[in-house]
Amino acid sequence: MVRAPRVRRRRRLGFAYRLAVFILWPIMRVIVKWDVTGNERLWEAEGGIVVAPNHTSWFDPPVVAFALWQSDRPPRFLGKESVFRVPIFGWIITHAGQIPVYRETAEARTAIRDALAALDRGECVVVYPEGTITRDPDVWPMSAKTGAVRIALTSGRPLFPMVQWGSHLVMGPYKKEFRVLPRKTVHIVVGDAIELSDLAGRPLDAETLAIASVRLMDAITAMEAQVRGETPPATRYVHRKEPRPLAPGDPDPGAA
């Protein structure tokens, strides 16, 4: 199968996408300090890719978007459908080709379909594997949903873990605040693509998706631990109605 070449910043991305870049790029460039490593992995990968960042704050999406734009990988985010109904902002992201996720509805699969189509066009698709901002009290990664690995396994495209650390200092988890002074440093690290070749061809059942999801979150947790210079908890927070800890390396029975 012939893969489409990767989409670059110079491609025709549409008025709304260029408008978002025009508004956000100069702001993001100056309000925080940047420390980006590993993004050469994104330059070197050909065709479409899946990027899976950790999620610590409502400020994460512009941080990740800026880092990917600087890496010549214009992002297509999967995001909660409710965000697409926010006045003005919702119009911009809708017409900029971002992908709404209709959770727990009959339309939920359309996000997977649209993400796979974007990958076929050579685009960079961003999926937050935790599905929401972490609920871990110390801002460590939680257990994963299956969307990111499902898209990667279905498409056969590389799945890159990404860690950003520092956006939570601008906006704390689930807090309505915006603290830009003094300027915070945002660290961005892109890791090696997750090894999934041994899972290719297997049925995308709960076991396969759980194995892939644990590999992804183990990589993200290890990367975050290195950035923070701290030891992660022995158990990973599981976000559900009755949360319980999950040991790294154990399948998450609630991931699917």
Q: Measured between alpha carbons, how far apart are the two ends of the chain, in Å? A: 29
Average pLDDT over every residue of 106-135? 94
d(CA 61, CA 160) in angstroms, rounded, equals 16
- 């690995």: which residue's tokens? 149
Give residue 103's pLDDT. Answer: 76
Q: Which SS3 state, helix, strand or coil, does residue 134 take?
A: coil
Give residue 106's pLDDT. Answer: 67
As a residue count, the chain comes to 256
Give residue 141's pLDDT. Answer: 98
Taking all residues of the chain, what is their mean pLDDT, rounded to a whole number? 92
15-31 and 60-70 helices cross at what angle (nearest 10)? Answer: 100
pLDDT-based confidence at residue 53 (cuts at 50, 70, 90)? very high
Give residue 27's pLDDT. Answer: 97
Give residue 244's pLDDT. Answer: 44
Q: Is the peptide bond before 182 cis (omega within 30 degrees of 0)?
A: yes
Query: What strand order describes the sheet that includes 32-37?
Result: 32-37, 184-190, 159-165, 49-53, 124-126, 75-80, 99-101
Contact 195, 185 (CB under 8 A): no
pLDDT tens digits for range 226-253 = 999 999 999 999 987 444 444 555 444 4
DSSP code at position 240: S
pLDDT tens digits for range 22-50 = 999 999 999 999 999 999 999 999 999 99
Range 122-139 burial, b when 16+ CB lie within 10 A, else e: bbbbbbbbbbebbebeeb
Range 148-180 burial, b when 16+ CB lie within 10 A, else e: bbbbbbebebbbbbbbbbbbbbbbbbeeeeeee
Neighbour-count burial of 88, counting CB atoms closer than 10 A to its CB (0-12 exposed, 13-18 middle, 19+ buried): exposed
pLDDT tens digits for range 56-111 = 999 999 999 999 999 999 999 999 999 999 999 999 999 999 999 987 676 778 99
List the domain boundaries for the chain. Answer: 33-73+121-246
Give residue 4's pLDDT. Answer: 87
Contact 213, 147 (CB under 8 A): no
Element (H, E) at 159: strand 159-165
pLDDT tens digits for range 140-193 = 999 999 999 999 999 999 999 999 999 999 999 999 999 999 999 999 999 999
Element (H, E) at 11: none
pLDDT-based confidence at residue 2 (cuts at 50, 70, 90)? low
Q: Which SS3 state, helix, strand or coil, does residue 35 take?
A: strand
Contact 206, 150 (CB under 8 A): no
pLDDT-based confidence at residue 11 (cuts at 50, 70, 90)? very high
Nearest to 53 by CA among 27, 81, 70, 77: 77
Give residue 254's pLDDT. Answer: 39
pTM: 0.91
